[in-house]
Amino acid sequence: MNRSEIAQLLTQISALDNRVVDEAGVEMWFRVLGSFDYQDALDALPLFFQKSDSYLAPRGLIVEIKNLREQRVAEMEKAQRELENSEGPGDPMPLCAEHGLGILYCTPCCVKLSAIADMHPNDRHAHAVATIFMPA
């Protein structure tokens, strides 16, 4: 966040706790929260005030920002697992013949596939299928 965003954030906080927003306060909050994303901080504000009617210090907001980020990561991981487990249209991910892993999860085979792409630019797909993959 930049100082202007910190000032905007403190102005919103002041609507709930009647704090005075001044240059010294903006500077100190900037020194503590400057590395955080402004939108994350805005999204975390209601989370703090839904749980507490205490005077908000930077630490309380940092805790809520971290909780919010963890929640977002968990939601993305859940969506990814659901996507991977769904039986949607399309072909299943091929497995590597040597390791039996989905090709996107097999680092040695991804390295081989990259080398094949360099050596066989005109027919890399057919060559890769013939030498690396087996049906899922």
Q: 12 near 20, Cβ under 8 Å?
A: no
Q: What is the DSSP letter of 135?
A: -
C-alpha span between 68 and 98 (Å, rounded): 41
Structural domain including 28 reads: 3-85
C-alpha span between 118 and 121 (Å, rounded): 6
**pTM of the shown model:** 0.60
What's the CA dihedral at 118, 120, 123, 128 to 10 degrees? -80
pLDDT, tens digit, 9 for 90 and up, residues 96-135: 777 777 777 778 777 777 776 666 566 656 656 666 555 4
Q: Report the number of distinct structural domains present in the chain.
A: 2
The Cα-based distances of 12 to 2, 17, 63, 91, 124 in angstroms read: 16, 9, 18, 50, 57
Least trusted range by pLDDT, from 32-36, 51-55, 82-86: 82-86
The reply to whether 90 falls in a domain is no
> Do 8 and 56 have their domain in common?
yes
The reply to whether 78 falls in a domain is yes
pLDDT, tens digit, 9 for 90 and up, residues 31-52: 999 999 999 999 999 999 999 9
